[in-house]
Structures are given as structure tokens and as C-alpha cells.
Amino acid sequence: MKIFRHKGQPSEATSTTVQLMWRKEFEHLNLCADENIVKREGAGRFKYHGTLNYAILLEYCPMGSLSSYLDKVQNENIEIPLGNSLKLAQDIASGMEFLHEADSQSGGPIRVPVAHRDIKSSNILLKAPDHAVISDFGLAIALRAPSSHPSGQNSIDMDVNRTKQCGTPRYLSPELLEGQIGVHFADAFRQGLILLTYLCYNWLIKRMSIL
């Protein structure tokens, strides 16, 4: 379950922001039905200590995040089979292709290309040692509005600053650091860092143990 919490003292402004982020992620997940995107099982609101909070129930991924899995690999000196690494790479790449290359010809809901903007190892969940799904669409933006939308605007992205540098700093691409938008390239850069991290993880751990 992902809970959208207030940062700091709750106020009308922060409540609106939290609600918009919850709604945006809910709608993105509703349109992104793919085997390499985490599934949304439900959503709702609840009060905790008098504050209204929002939550999205996601499918269960028993192995947790890729980040926690790599920590376990390091702590327990586990070797990642090459076949598993390649399959995870394929899953992540397929999920990113699904997001970036919208296909509305399958008879399903009208989709538009989506930039995730926060791809990192903690946002990759593992359903099995060789099966990964992409999660956390809180910073995602649709790259264009559906052609059928009467106003020509994107109704999903209510709060987006498209030129804003966002996401985890060490995963930011050169395009974003230089003030360019390049959202497709930014996602691809982040994806490349993840692939480099775990495809080379066994080698890096062995080298560190020698030093």
C-alpha cells in the first residue's frame, strides 16, 4: 500500500497537493495496465489523528524493491544469476517502452505517452528474482493530451511543472542538470544507471571484497 502523507503541518494547501498527487498516480496506474507495471488493486481515503490521508493499494510484490534486494545480496554475499539479471533488465526496458510508446489500437482505454521522471532502484519492485515491475508514478507526466480531449489539455497532470528538475538527484540526467527538459532521455538515463548497478553488482561486490 502506498500512503500519500502530509509533509509538515497539514493545511488546506498541502491537503490539495496530496489529493492531486493521489489522483494523478491513481489515474496513471488505471491507464497503464501492463505486466511490467505494478497493478493497482484499489484506492481510498482514511482519517488518521484527524487528518485526511489518501492511499493506493498495490499488488503484492513479495521480494520488495530492487534496492532492498541488492542490499540483501551485498549483506549475505549472494550471487545474482546472469539469467535473472538479464530478465530484470528486459522487464524494466519493456515497462519503459510501454510508458513511452502509447498504443491505443488494442481496443482498450485511450493512452498517451508517459514520462515516469523518478526511475530508481527503490521504485522497481520484484515479484520474483526474475520478474520486475515499475512503481511510484507520483512524479509522472503524460507527454501530450489525448487527441479526443475537447480542451486539448491533459486532465491527468493537474499540478505539473514540466521544466522542473525532479526525482532523486543522483539519478538526474545531464539534460535536466543543464536546464533542458528531455524527459524521454531523462528516463532512459535513469534506466541505464539501474541496469549498470545490478548487471555489474556481482563484479563490484567481489572487487570491494578484495580491496
Type of residue found at 44: G
Query: Please, are residues 105 and 41 in contact by the beta-carbon 8 Å criterion?
Result: no
Alpha-carbon span 29 to 58, nearest angstrom = 10
Alpha-carbon span 23 to 156, nearest angstrom = 8
Q: How many CA atoms lie within 13 A of 76 on its CB side?
A: 9
Neighbouring C-beta atoms of residue 88, cutoff 10 Å: 24
Annotated catalytic residue, options 118, 136, 157, 187: 118
The answer to whether 118 is a known catalytic residue is: yes
Neighbouring C-beta atoms of residue 145, cutoff 10 Å: 16
Neighbouring C-beta atoms of residue 136, cutoff 10 Å: 19
- State the catalytic residues: 118
